[in-house]
Amino acid sequence: MQMFKRSLAAVSLLAPGMAIAHEGAHGGGLTSGFVHVISEPDHLAIVCLGAALIGCASWAVRGLGRKRALSRQASSRARD
């Protein structure tokens, strides 16, 4: 686990340089940023991938919570 934390810290130090996807002015507000993301196929693909990963993780965690709840119910019924 300690190695994972160190690797994550090293990657996060390199991330600001990688975050500059392309040169040019990146001015504008929230609306122009949103339009930029949905109008560029590569940006949109990353957003969709991130949403899919978050959805899968949420689904898995919820399923694990339901299994634990059912297990608790079964063990409390067995005790009664």
Residues in the chain: 80
Question: What's residue 49's pLDDT?
Answer: 93
Q: Give CA 56 to chain center in angstroms.
A: 10
Please indicate, yes or no, if residue 74 is contained in any of the structural domains. Answer: yes
Please indicate, yes or no, if residue 18 is contained in any of the structural domains. Answer: no
Question: What's residue 53's pLDDT?
Answer: 93
Please indicate, yes or no, if residue 13 is contained in any of the structural domains. Answer: no
Average pLDDT score over residue span 25-48: 81
Quick one: tokens of 80?
A: 């009664």
Average pLDDT score over residue span 37-44: 85
Please indicate, yes or no, if residue 67 is contained in any of the structural domains. Answer: yes
- As for how many domains the chain has, the answer is 1
More confident: 10 or 55: 55
Indicate whether 32 pLDDT > 90.
Answer: no
Question: What's residue 54's pLDDT?
Answer: 93
Please indicate, yes or no, if residue 50 is contained in any of the structural domains. Answer: yes
pTM over 0.85? The answer is no
Within 8 A by CB and 6+ apart from 21, the residues are: 43
Residue ranges making up the domain that contains 51: 36-79
